[in-house]
């Protein structure tokens, strides 16, 4: 079975149930500990810190590339040395494996 960061997102147009907390937590454990599941179990989010604005914007651009190639788009906010990335599958109003695949790909950016 491939690691999460090696999987590809599958198109999701709804019609499938969102992950329950137990399933989401099992997938979250495969991610960097900075990722946390929201209280309503509808999203995962992580905060990132960098040394300067250049590193922050390079990271944001890399996350945008992941979103483009996986056709799964996070909410992103960032400042001079910080960024927040939040994944949720809007079509199911909750979490799917796609959210964790993209989060794992984000983790891989920082582990290279």
Give the tens place of pLDDT for each residue, 37-62: 999 999 999 999 999 999 999 999 99
pTM check: above 0.85: yes
Boundaries of every domain in the chain: 18-111
User: What is the DSSP annotation of 53-102?
Assistant: HHHHHHHHHHHHHHHHHHT---EEEE-SSEEEEEE-BGGGTB--HHHHHH
- The architecture (CATH level 2) of 18-111 comes to 2-Layer Sandwich (3.30)
CA atoms of 12 and 87, how far apart (whole Å): 14
pLDDT tens by residue, 64-107: 999 999 999 999 999 999 999 999 999 999 999 999 999 999 99
């Amino acid at each position: 079975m491939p690691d999460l960061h090696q999987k590809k997102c599958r198109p999701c147009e709804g019609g499938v149930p969102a992950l329950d907390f137990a399933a989401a937590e099992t997938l979250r454990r495969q991610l960097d500990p900075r990722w946390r599941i929201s209280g309503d179990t509808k999203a995962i989010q992580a905060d990132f810190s960098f040394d300067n604005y250049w590193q922050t914007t390079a990271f944001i651009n890399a996350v945008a590339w992941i979103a483009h190639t996986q056709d799964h788009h996070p909410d992103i906010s960032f400042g001079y040395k910080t960024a927040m990335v939040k994944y949720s599958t809007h079509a199911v109003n909750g979490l799917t494996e796609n959210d964790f695949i993209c989060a794992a790909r984000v983790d891989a950016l920082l582990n290279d």
